C-alpha cells in the first residue's frame, strides 16, 4: 500500500510549521510541490525553503508538478471548479502511480490548513474513487491565514460569545452586516468591502501575511477602505500577484 500525507505548512511564514508537520515531511519519501506559473513563483519558493530548512532525510526527493489552470469560459462556476478538480485529480493519479513505489509515502505541502478553502482532501478522495492506484492518507493541520491575520492585528476573531462567518468576496453581499457581525473574507478578487455601507463597520486587512512583504491596515471601513484599495493595487502591481484576507466587524464585546 502507498501512503499520502496532506500536510498544512502554514500561510507564508516558514516558522508556522508545526512539529507534527516537520515530522510528517521527514517521514515522506517524496515531497510534492505544486507550481502555479511565474506570477505566484514565490509560493513554490516558500515550499522549497520549508523543505530545505526542515527536511533532513537524505533519501527523500522533491517532485514539482504544475497545477492545471482553471478554465472559466462558457461554464458555470460549479462546472468550472468540478472540471478543474478532475484535471488536478488526473495529475495526482499520475504522481501517485509514477512517483511512489508500494510501501512509500508521498507528502503534499498544502498552504495554510488543508480544511480551509483548499480542495486537496476532496481531490485525493476523487483519486481514491477512481480505484486505479491503492493508497491510504492522513491530514496534518497547519496555521491558517485567518490565524495569521488575527495575530498580526493582535485581535481575537470573534466578539464575546458571538459567531463568525467565513466567506468569499463573491458571497459577501447580503451576509455582512445584514446577517453576521463578524465576517472573514478570503479569495476576494473584486474588493467586495468597497460595497459595504455601514458607519459602524471596521476592517482588519492583511496581504502577504507571514512573508517579508506583509502589509496590514485596520480602522473604520469608511475611513480606510480607499487606502486599502490603493495599497492593494500598488502591491499587486509591484509583486505581480497578491494574496489578501480581511475581517469585517461591527458592534462591540458585551453588546447585545
Ligand atoms: C485557496 S485559499 C487557501 C487558504 C489556506 N488553506 C489557509 O488555510 O489559509 C487562498 C486564500 O487564502 C488567503 N490567504 C492565504 N494565505 C495568505 C497570506 N499569507 N496572506 C493573506 N491572505 C492569505 C487569501 O484570501 C487567499 O485568497
Confidence of residue 255 (pLDDT cuts 50, 70, 90): confident
| Closest atom, ligand 1, to C-alpha of 144 | 8
Query: Does residue 205's CB lie within 6 angstroms of at least one atom of ligand 1?
Result: no
Query: Does residue 112's CB lie within 6 angstroms of at least one atom of ligand 1?
Result: yes
pLDDT value at residue 256: 79
pLDDT value at residue 213: 96
Q: Write down all domains in the chain, each with its CATH number in brackets.
A: 2-143 (3.40.1010.10), 146-249 (3.30.950.10)
pLDDT tens digits along 154-206: 999 999 999 999 999 999 999 999 999 999 999 999 999 999 999 999 999 99
Say how many Å lie between the CA of residue 145 and the centre of ligand 1.
5
pLDDT value at residue 140: 98
pLDDT tens digits along 21-72: 999 999 999 999 998 766 678 889 999 999 999 999 889 999 999 999 999 9
What does the block give as the cell for 57? 532525510
Helix axes 41-54, 19-27, angle to 10 degrees: 80
pLDDT value at residue 40: 75
Beta strands in the chain (DSSP E): 2-8, 30-35, 61-66, 105-110, 135-140, 165-168, 182-186, 202-207, 215-220, 244-249
Q: Which residue, 98, 80, 93, 99, is CA-closest to 30?
A: 99
Query: Does residue 187's CB lie within 6 angstroms of at least one atom of ligand 1?
Result: yes
- What average pLDDT does the segment 102-118 reach? 97
Judged against a pLDDT cut of 70, whether residue 220 lies above it is answered with yes
Say how many Å lie between the CA of residue 213 and the centre of ligand 1.
15
SS3 30: strand
Say how many Å lie between the CA of residue 166 and the centre of ligand 1.
12
Taking all residues of the chain, what is their mean pLDDT, rounded to a whole number?
95
The preferred substitution site among 67, 243, 247 for testing ligand 1, maximizing ligand atoms within 8 Å of CB, is 243
pLDDT value at residue 38: 63
Query: Does residue 111's CB lie within 6 angstroms of at least one atom of ligand 1?
Result: yes
Query: Does residue 210's CB lie within 6 angstroms of at least one atom of ligand 1?
Result: yes
| Closest atom, ligand 1, to C-alpha of 185 | 25
Query: Does residue 118's CB lie within 6 angstroms of at least one atom of ligand 1?
Result: yes
Nearest residue by C-alpha to atom 21 in ligand 1: 244
Rounded distance between C-alpha atoms, residue 205 and residue 152, angstroms: 10
Cβ atoms of 145 and 112 closer than 8 Å: yes
Query: Does residue 184's CB lie within 6 angstroms of at least one atom of ligand 1?
Result: no
pLDDT value at residue 41: 84
Rounded distance between C-alpha atoms, residue 26 and residue 31, angstroms: 9
pLDDT value at residue 130: 95
pLDDT tens digits along 1-19: 999 999 999 999 999 999 9
Rounded distance between C-alpha atoms, residue 12 and residue 214, angstroms: 9
pLDDT above 90 covers a percentage of the chain that reads 91
Rounded distance between C-alpha atoms, residue 109 and residue 151, angstroms: 23
Amino acid at each position: 500500500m502507498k501512503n499520502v500525507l496532506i500536510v498544512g505548512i502554514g500561510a507564508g511564514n516558514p516558522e508556522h510549521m508545526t512539529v507534527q508537520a516537520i515530522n510528517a515531511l521527514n517521514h515522506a519519501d517524496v515531497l510534492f510541490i505544486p507550481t502555479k506559473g511565474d506570477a505566484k513563483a514565490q509560493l513554490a519558493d516558500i515550499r522549497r525553503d520549508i523543505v530545505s530548512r526542515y527536511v533532513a532525510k537524505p533519501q527523500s526527493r522533491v517532485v514539482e508538478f504544475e497545477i492545471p489552470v482553471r478554465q472559466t469560459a462558457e461554464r458555470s462556476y460549479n462546472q468550472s471548479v468540478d472540471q478543474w478538480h478532475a484535471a488536478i485529480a488526473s495529475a495526482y493519479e499520475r504522481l501517485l502511480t509514477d512517483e511512489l513505489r508500494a510501501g512509500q509515502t508521498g507528502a503534499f505541502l498544502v498552504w495554510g490548513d488543508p480544511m480551509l478553502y483548499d480542495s486537496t482532501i476532496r481531490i485525493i478522495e476523487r483519486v481514491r474513487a477512481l480505484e486505479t492506484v491503492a493508497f491510504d492518507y492522513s491530514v496534518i493541520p497547519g496555521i491558517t491565514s485567518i490565524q495569521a491575520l488575527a495575530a498580526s492585528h493582535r485581535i481575537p476573531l470573534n466578539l464575546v460569545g458571538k459567531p463568525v462567518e467565513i466567506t468569499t468576496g463573491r458571497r459577501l453581499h447580503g451576509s455582512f452586516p445584514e446577517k453576521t457581525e463578524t465576517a472573514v473574507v478570503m479569495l476576494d478578487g473584486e474588493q467586495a468591502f468597497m460595497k459595504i455601507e455601514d458607519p459602524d463597520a471596521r476592517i482588519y486587512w492583511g496581504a502577504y501575511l507571514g512573508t517579508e512583504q506583509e502589509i496590514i491596515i485596520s480602522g473604520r471601513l469608511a475611513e480606510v477602505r480607499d487606502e486599502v484599495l490603493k495599497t492593494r493595487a500598488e502591491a499587486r502591481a509591484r509583486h505581480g500577484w497578491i494574496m489578501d484576507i480581511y475581517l469585517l466587524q461591527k458592534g462591540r464585546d458585551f453588546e447585545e
